[in-house]
Amino acid sequence: MAITKETIRSLIKEGQETLGEVELYNRPYEFEENGRYVLVGVRQAGKSYMLYKRAKQLLASGRSLEEMVYIDFDDERLLGMTAADLDLILQAYGSVYSHRPILFFDEIQNVDGWEHFARRLANQKYQVFITGSNAKMLSRDIQTTLGGRYLDGRVFPYSFAEYLAAQGIALSKEWQHGKVRSQVQQAFTKYLLWGGFPELLLYRNKRRWLNDLYEKILLGDVIQRNKVKNEMALRLTIKRLADNVMQPTSYNRIANLVKGTGVSTSVASVIDYVRYAKEACMLFPLDNYASKFVEKETVKKHYFVDNGLLSIFLIGGETALLENLCAVHLYKKYEGGLYFYNKGIEVDFVVPDESYAVQVSYSISDEDTRKREVDGLKKLHAFLPLKRMVIVTFDEEETVKLGDGCIIEVIPAWKWLLE
């Protein structure tokens, strides 16, 4: 069915009602006053929320709802929409209102070629805010087309600090010494297992909600978008990545693990499947800082963008969940500057530009575990002088003094995440 102006007019009216009625918890995100934005992240991370937040800011500054156009491109009434149809939005708005619209486009990656329309809007000096669930929207090709006319950013599910605030747990300067400390610890246990998707807080059956979300991402953002034919091989590839989330893993090994179940695949197909999952913002990779270029491209660690997505694959995987959570926390801050180190020694996370290294261990009460984690940091420090060395645990805290005057901080994850 062809997209009509009448359909667009209905969507514009509904969008204005949504922007006027929505109630928000104030997530920390600062918008440039005159900036246009492309915001990208996994589904349900809170990207729509960011559009609502910006709309509320503009309303508070004196703009009117009639100036605003909010379109959700996941709406089934827009199925089959093409780039050639996008101008209908301006035409439909102009047939009702005389204002110059402020444009909010949610999940616009559903329309192939959207970036050319977005560039024209920028050239014509419209205020535009765009979200999407495909990391290709931040790719060099898209950014070249947009010509530097948009600011880009990633949106992640709640950080632990946001998770606490969303549940009304306020942190004072002395929070570690009162009853709030136990509230934080209890909340962390749930956050570790279920992650930080904002909407998940509303549901009792969290596993069912996460399973439903995973299926939506997999079917809509991976299989359908990339026309994947061997769905079972794709599913097993992601399952094997979850099983090996703490281990550097080659594409060849993943392919062999998949084929070991009796499902045919190839290394080339596995490389594609992992790329599709990355593009859907479900996974992110880390390179080995000690590797040569070829090894960097073929042997990586892969982490899930939220613990909730990882937890649906694991049974009793507290150690894997703790490392994944630390990976997400560091990736948000350092992104391309974050590595793991594996060459004779293993160190979970290294930020060379900051001379910062982090080991993750659920507990170091076992003497062998303690020695392994401490020795890894000591040996890395001898090779790459470090300003800060940390072992993140579930609930243990101490200071390990090294012979050269350096120290290793042993910090509970719930405390480290709130630094």
Give per-residue pLDDT as tens, 24-68.
777 878 898 889 999 999 999 999 999 999 999 999 999 999 999
What tokens were used for 131?
């979200």
pLDDT recorded at residue 28: 78
Contacts of 64 (CB under 8 A, 6+ apart): 99
Do 380 and 370 contact (CB within 8 A), yes or no?
Answer: no
Tell me the pLDDT tens digit for each residue of 302-326: 999 999 999 999 988 999 999 999 9
Q: Which of 103, 128, 107, 127 is nearest to 45 (CA)?
A: 107
State how far the Cα of 14 lies from the Cα of 9, in Å rounded to an integer.
Answer: 9
**Among the CATH numbers 2.20.25.90, 1.10.10.10, 1.10.230.10, 1.10.600.10, which is that of 230-315?**
1.10.10.10
Helix (H) or strand (E) holding 287: strand 283-288
Do 255 and 265 contact (CB within 8 A), yes or no?
Answer: yes
State how far the Cα of 170 lies from the Cα of 98, in Å rounded to an integer.
Answer: 45
- Confidence tier at 253 by pLDDT (50, 70, 90): very high
Average pLDDT, rounded, for the chain: 94
Q: Is the pLDDT of residue 12 over 70?
A: yes
- Confidence tier at 1 by pLDDT (50, 70, 90): low
pLDDT recorded at residue 293: 67
Do 49 and 163 contact (CB within 8 A), yes or no?
Answer: no
Sheet strands (E) in 66-206: 68-72, 102-106, 127-132, 151-154
Do 104 and 132 contact (CB within 8 A), yes or no?
Answer: no
Q: Would you say domain 5-154 falls under CATH 3.40.50.300?
A: yes
Tell me the pLDDT tens digit for each residue of 85-139: 999 999 999 999 999 999 999 999 999 999 999 999 999 999 999 999 999 998 8
Helix-helix angle 267-279:231-243, to 10 degrees? 80
Domain extents for the chain? 5-154, 160-194, 230-315, 318-419
Do 83 and 111 contact (CB within 8 A), yes or no?
Answer: yes
State how far the Cα of 84 lies from the Cα of 101, in Å rounded to an integer.
Answer: 19
DSSP letter for each residue of 48-89: HHHHHHHHHHHHHTT--GGGEEEEETTSGGGTT--GGGTHHH
